[in-house]
Amino acid sequence: MKSEIIWNCPALPESTGQKLKQALLFSALLLAALTGSSSTYADNQPTGNAYESYKHSRWWIAGISAASIAGMTSNTFAEDKKRHFSISIALGAASEFGLRKLKVASDSRWKRIALATGAGLVPGIIKEMTDDRFDKEDLLADVIGSFTGALLSDLVQGPVDTGPQYGVVVGVDKVGLAVNYPF
């Protein structure tokens, strides 16, 4: 009878880099869980309260943040792809924030996120067109990063509060002010 050892690996001490990765992931999950709201509003329903958010948004924020940090600290992806992803996250988030402040696509959450993703992609597309070689993987990292940033920005800020809409009613014999408030 022959005995064979298939796997014999002594316990290796954790590296400082591994501990840092774990600390970053834990911090992101803890921060998102502690700062989020657990409101039950539907996706496109205005809340009327600036501190409300989408249902389960804190868990989405935690999961997306953890996945992003894990990808950024992983040795699986090239440094160039990580740079494209991280810059695009910032551009997508800034685009969604700008569109929200300009009241562009306030009626549709996903339209605003799609527009913000596209706007966040513009610098990446320009960069790829000026490079010697067009790299589809860089552009994919830009798309994923821009969408992630736009989605995180939307989740953090919560539903758009459209508030009351005012208008002037002009008739043949009268002029009036109309107030339309969704409730």
Distance in angstroms (rounded) separating the CA atoms of residues 107 and 98:
15
For residues 90 and 72, the answer to whether their CB atoms sit within 8 Å is no
Q: Which residue has the tokens 């997306």?
A: 64
pLDDT tens, position by position, 6-54: 444 444 445 655 666 566 555 655 555 555 444 433 444 444 444 456 7
pLDDT in tens, 126-177: 999 999 999 999 999 999 999 999 999 998 888 876 555 555 666 677 666 6
Question: What value does the mean pLDDT take over residues 71-84?
Answer: 86
Greater model confidence, 66 or 21: 66
pLDDT exceeds 90 at position 112: yes
Token representation of residue 79: 């440094």
Per-residue confidence (pLDDT) for residue 94, from 0 to 100: 92
pTM exceeding 0.85: no
Specify the amino acid at residue 110.
Answer: W
Higher pLDDT, 88 or 20: 88
Residue 44, amino acid: N
Element holding 71 (H helix, E strand): helix 57-73
> For residue 60, is pLDDT > 70?
yes
Burial class (CB in 10 A: 0-12, 13-18, 19+), 134: exposed
Q: Show the tokens assigned to 40.
A: 């039950």
| Token pair listed for 43 | 């996706």
Asked if the model's pLDDT at residue 82 lies above 80, the reply is yes
